[in-house]
């Protein structure tokens, strides 16, 4: 699978950006210190890292150090540096560029995690409000069913009211999956075949279950599975509040 478009653009910028920046700075190489010029190139590394990943940032750091050597330090237009200060500046440019690229990539990853967490919290909050306001618990069941399809990347999802039938694999409260009497590592082995049960209960009272049929080859994160369990608990609370559940 190829790189995402954003990462491809960042990689191209990592290769070309420092070169263009060094060319722009060339007229100022005799009037400005090497340190000032190097700092400007660090800005280029930060920009590339912010839009791309750590590999693009690393390439930008290497490219910046190379073009700093070639264009901005004597002897010019040669990959050779004379003068201890210039050598130290080039090494520091490379080191700082690599560190900054890692930090920027880490910040990007944290932003993705934060957005994902916000989405999960919004799902839980919306269902909690629906439990309080819905005229019928069936509305809660249907809304959660729709949420589970997207959250767990399911091919099908249906809800069974009333008694348990059979012993299908079960998604537990801790996000693990039990098949028979054994826990299955779905992060490593994937979902078990067939439908998976997700029970809806409140206060130890069982009200029904969602029957999940995942898309083959997909495994949701543990965080997504825990959110799914929480949504099912809201369904259990809605049904428990509504009174005895009859088989439907």
Residue 103 has which token pair? 């930090």
Check: pTM over 0.75? Answer yes or no: no
Please write the tens of the pLDDT for every residue from 82-120: 767 777 888 888 887 777 776 666 666 666 656 667 788
Report d(CA 180, CA 173) in Å as an integer.
16
Residue with tokens 């369990």, as numbered in its chain: 229
- Structure confidence by residue, pLDDT tens digits, 139-192: 999 999 999 999 999 999 999 987 777 889 999 988 889 998 899 988 888 999
Q: Which helix (H) or strand (E) holds 124?
A: helix 84-133
pLDDT at 2: 54
CA separation, residue 232 to residues 19, 228, 237 (Å): 55, 6, 9
Express each pLDDT in 194-216 by its tens digit: 999 999 987 777 889 999 999 98
Tens of pLDDT, residues 50-90: 777 778 888 888 898 899 989 988 888 888 777 677 778 88
Q: What is the pLDDT of residues 5-25, one digit of tens each?
A: 777 888 899 899 999 999 999
């Amino acid at each position: 699978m190829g790189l995402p478009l954003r990462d491809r653009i960042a990689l191209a910028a990592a290769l070309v950006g420092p070169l263009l920046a060094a060319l722009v700075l060339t007229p100022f190489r005799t009037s400005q210190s090497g340190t000032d010029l190097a700092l400007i190139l660090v800005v280029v590394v930060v920009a590339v890292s912010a839009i791309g990943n750590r590999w693009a940032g690393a390439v930008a750091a290497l490219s910046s150090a190379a073009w700093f050597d070639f264009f901005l330090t004597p002897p010019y237009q040669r990959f050779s540096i004379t003068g201890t200060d210039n050598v130290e500046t080039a090494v520091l440019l490379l080191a700082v560029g690599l560190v900054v690229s890692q930090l920027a990539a880490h910040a990007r990853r944290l932003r993705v995690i934060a957005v994902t967490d916000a989405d999960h919290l919004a799902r839980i909050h919306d269902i909690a409000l629906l439990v309080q306001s819905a005229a019928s618990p069936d509305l809660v069941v249907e809304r959660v069913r729709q949420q589970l399809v997207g959250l767990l990347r399911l091919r099908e999802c249906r809800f069974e009211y009333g008694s348990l039938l059979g012993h299908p694999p079960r998604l537990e409260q801790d996000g693990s999956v039990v098949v028979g009497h054994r826990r299955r590592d779905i992060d490593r082995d994937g979902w078990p075949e067939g439908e998976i049960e997700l029970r809806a209960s409140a206060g130890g009272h069982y009200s029904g279950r969602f029957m999940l049929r995942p898309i083959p080859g997909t495994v949701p994160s543990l965080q997504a599975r825990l959110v799914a369990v929480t949504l099912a608990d809201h369904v259990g609370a809605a049904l428990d509040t509504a009174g005895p559940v009859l088989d439907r």
